[in-house]
Amino acid sequence: MVSRPWTVVSSMKHIPNFFTLLNLFFGCIAIVFALQTESVIMYVNDEYSGSSFNIPEKLTWAAVFIGLAGIVDFLDGFVARLLRATSDIGKHLDSLSDVVSFGVAPATILYQLLRLSFAREENGLEIAIGWLIPAFVLSCAAAYRLAKFNIEESQSYDFTGLPTPAVGLLIASFPLILHFNAATFGIGSILINKWLLYGLILLLSYLMISNIPFMGLKFKDYTLKNNLPKLILIVTALVSAVFLQWIAVPVIFIIYSILSLVYKNQLK
């Protein structure tokens, strides 16, 4: 029996949704890894051993799955444009998936990092949960930002407010930095400072729901003038990845934010 042409076309329209659901699937796995009981992070600090971090493998796997969610989040849009299979359901499904993968999963990592920060203090393991749940303010801001994205038609090449995937990938880099690069520049101690974590939660949440313009990574054309910020970001990302390893992620994030602010008039 020969398939009808429109049946094949209809089936192809669901391919981008498969990638979107894979994004959601990876986000759910990341949450499971981050919440494993044995993912409590241990910190050692005494005059003989110095300072060291033992980041359990499952917390780093949570970060890896957020990264995988980021990859398929990019692919679903690419495939949708390639197959000309964009749809309203795909748009909303994408935002629902992003809330989990780049809102809830990263907030769960922040929750664990706050536990680590308090665990360094006397009686820190008995800290009240009220000191930890502010991590999920990030999830609420991500949900609001994605809802706003869905009703604004102007955010195709550039964004109003910090993109949620950028926030998720930034937070996901923290366990990897602590696992592989904690001793570099003393960044391990910096990343588990509770006041820094609280500050990041507030700053990133504000930037997501703000009306500040941030540049997208799509190219409207191939002129140097219109794409200079993107080219600077690409070159910086490649150089920092070679020399800084996982620390490159927050460096790239900071440069991305600065470039967006510097070129904000061009983004409007």
Contacts of 121 (CB under 8 A, 6+ apart): none
3-state secondary structure of 216: coil
The CATH architecture one would assign to domain 12-215 is Up-down Bundle (1.20)
State how far the Cα of 250 lies from the Cα of 177, in Å rounded to an integer: 10
Higher pLDDT, 197 or 18: 197
Higher pLDDT, 48 or 26: 26
Q: Global pTM? A: 0.88
3-state secondary structure of 48: coil
Contact call for residues 87 and 37 (beta carbons, < 8 A):
no
Stated as kind and residue range, the H or E segment containing 249 is: helix 248-262
How does residue 150 score in pLDDT terms, banded at 50, 70 and 90? confident
Q: Where in the chain are the domains?
A: 12-215
How far is Cα of residue 47 from the mean position of the Cα atoms in its chain?
36
Cα distances (Å, whole numbers) of residue 23 to 30, 68, 110: 11, 8, 20
Look over the chain and give the mean of its residue pLDDT values, rounded to a whole number: 85
- Of the chain, the percentage scoring pLDDT greater than 70 comes to 82
Around 248, how many Cα atoms within 13 Å sit in the side-chain half-sphere?
Answer: 14
Give tens-digit pLDDT for 116-132.
888 877 776 778 899 99
